[in-house]
Amino acid sequence: MIFEIVQQAESGRARTGRLELKHGVVATPAYMPCASRAVLRACPPDAVAAVGVQILVATAYHLHLRPGEEVVAACGGLHRFMGWRAPILTDSGGFQVFSLADQNDISEEGVTFRSPVDGSEILVSPELSVEVQMGLGSDIAMVLDECCACPAEREYVERSVERTLRWAERSLEAHDHPWQQLFGIVQGGVYDDLREWSARETAAMGFPGFGIGGLSVGEDRAEMLRCLRAAKGQLPEERPVHLMGVGTPLDIVDCAAEGVDLFDCVLPTRNARHGSVMTWEGPIRIAGAQYETDRRPLSEECDCPACAGGYERAYLRHLHRIKEPVGWQLLSLHNIRFYTQLLARVREAIGAGALDELRGEVSAWSERDRA
């Protein structure tokens, strides 16, 4: 892996970069759509690449359950298995463990839970998580971590950070892959000093890059940004940083200003499946009666398959209302294109020293979305 800072903002931590991995180069800051089960729902990989996606996120937790890393490896690795030629980052599944908090048992050894596929008991240890991700053959793997709920008592969060640090050490010892990069993960809840401690200790282990996890899980935006600054200040500037699961347009601009290089979020595709469409002219709720005979494209400024392909709002509304998967695909690709354009504009704004102006525009967009 090679990570180069291309341009550093004159003030603040914002930067553009070039991340070179086994399967390609990523211009950062970059958005990574979530193809958790080796697919971006209803969207074929070539169509995802065509709307400007540089790198995807898949989840080791899901792929371990089905089809299994052995199957993926026998098919030539995750890239060949899913027909994706560009880089892939795999998440260990720590967040999925967090989301199943009432169904799992966390111990020093790892996390024990019941498989949602067949009900069998599974122990995911740091070593198994690394083994699964090496079998998948992703470009970037993540250590197993514990993502705490919010709010959580300080004493519990402190114990959780200690456990995540020990798991990180075990993950490093278990990782043995010729080109896959293993990133450490910073936790610490909403406690600044725990964030700083977690980041400092994780950085000292020598990981080539870092994830910052456990944010956007219930805390307010001010807490999120404060904790991000606390963690980021303790990480080496020359290493890439992935902010995990944070991704409204305004969050992306604000966190890019703090020096975040990689973002992942399910928001664009989840919103699309619920008929919420992102455009720079303002959000569209495509199920609305006002679009029943609307002959316009979703956006005149967009070159996604829906807009450039001549699909009108009236037809897309019809597809959404009858729950046609083609509608999910077209709306998802549109929203993903909105995000890849947003990140391109973030990179351009950082280079031009105009991030504040872009933030104003995105903030106005966000206000229209809330309205």
The catalytic residues are 91, 264
Bond preceding residue 178 cis, omega within 30 of 0: no
Handedness of CA 297, 53, 18, 237 (dihedral sign): positive
Q: Are 65 and 347 in contact (CB under 8 A)?
A: no
Is 284:298 a contact under the CB 8 Å cutoff? yes
DSSP bridge pairs for 305? none
Q: Is the preceding peptide bond at 236 cis, omega within 30 degrees of 0?
A: no
Long-range contacts of range 324-327, CB-CB < 8 Å, 24 or more positions apart? 325/42, 326/42
Beta bridge partners of 276: 285
User: 188, 194 in Cβ contact below 8 A?
Assistant: yes
DSSP string for residues in 44-78: -HHHHHHTT---EEEEHHHHHHTT-HHHHHHTT-H
